[in-house]
Amino acid sequence: MVVLVLLPLMLATISRGTDPGVAGRVLEFDLAFMFIPQGLLPLLALIYASGVLQDEQEQQTITYLLLRPISKPLLYVVKLLAAITATVLLAWVSIALTYAAIYAGHIHQTDAVPRCLQACLIDGLAVVTYCCLFGLLGLLTRRALIAGIVYIALVEGLLANLPFAIRLITVIYYTRLIAYRALPFVVSRPLGGSRNIAADAWHFHVSGDPTLAHDPHTWLCVALLLGGGSLCTAAGLLLCRNREFHVKTADKA
């Protein structure tokens, strides 16, 4: 887990060491807005949230939890909130360390701290949605880790990067829209001029729609992410209320 959280920091340090001339904005985009949201965040959420109750059941400790005067849905909510909190904090630590490695020694980059804070808020929103989704997945199948990895690879990895309407079902598409509108991603070209690296990498059609007026607005993106997470949580609560949790005993073994 520590290696996973520190991986962006290590990549930033290696990049700075091997190519000191690399533009900070480019390195920031590659790590803080490509690698972390698309790879690190969903994996962290999957690891922490998919076993919200499944781990307790496999370790045969859920019986002791259910003996307390607490309902199964409330137990699920408490465990899910704990998973969300842990995942968000780890994500923020990883992002902060990555920004520190990227902009260390570049005191002229005065917007590094505000950009880091905005990245933390945007990614924190994504983490909440991912945790709610993977928490539900952990209730639907015992192979939640495998199913989650398949989801991350196919949906958030493949479909989110296709310039078609199918990416509307992904989490990362909405976080990218929020980030694109909140932060500038314009860098200078080697031969003169400039380009928007986010628009190119994320397949936003800014040539015909510079303000992305035809895409969901920022407030709608936030509402859809929180709404999707809420629906997953509600479904998880319903499953918990109607499910009997069984553990192996010495007689059943």
Query: For 139-157, how does the pLDDT look when each residue is reduced to its tens digit (9 = 90+)?
Result: 888 888 999 999 999 999 9
Higher pLDDT, 64 or 97: 97
Q: Has residue 247 been placed in a domain? A: no
Contact predicate 144/134, CB 8 Å: yes
Percent of the chain with pLDDT over 70: 86
Q: d(Cα 164, Cα 170) in Å, to the nearest integer?
A: 12
Structural domain for 127, as ranges: 2-13+26-52+70-242
Q: Has residue 103 been placed in a domain? A: yes
Q: Has residue 249 been placed in a domain? A: no
Contact predicate 134/45, CB 8 Å: yes
- Burial letters for 76-98: b for 16+ Cβ neighbours within 10 Å, e otherwise? bbebbeebbebbbebbbebbbbb
Per-residue pLDDT reduced to its tens digit, 2-40: 888 999 999 999 988 888 778 888 899 999 999 999 989
φ/ψ (deg, to 5) at 191: -100, 15
- Report, as an integer, the average pLDDT of 106-131: 88
Maximum alpha-carbon separation in the chain = 76
Residue 110 has pLDDT above 60, yes or no: yes
> What is the pLDDT, as a whole number, of residue 253?
42
- Going by C-alpha positions, the residue among 67, 87, 65 that lies closest to residue 135 is 87
Q: Has residue 45 been placed in a domain? A: yes
Tell me the C-alpha to C-alpha distance, in Å, between residue 40 and each of 109, 120, 157: 26, 13, 12
Residue 71 has pLDDT above 90, yes or no: no
The total number of structural domains in the chain stands at: 1
Q: Has residue 236 been placed in a domain? A: yes
Amino acid at 226: L
Confidence class of residue 231 from pLDDT cuts 50, 70 and 90?
very high
Q: Has residue 191 been placed in a domain? A: yes
Q: Has residue 61 been placed in a domain? A: no
Q: Has residue 62 been placed in a domain? A: no
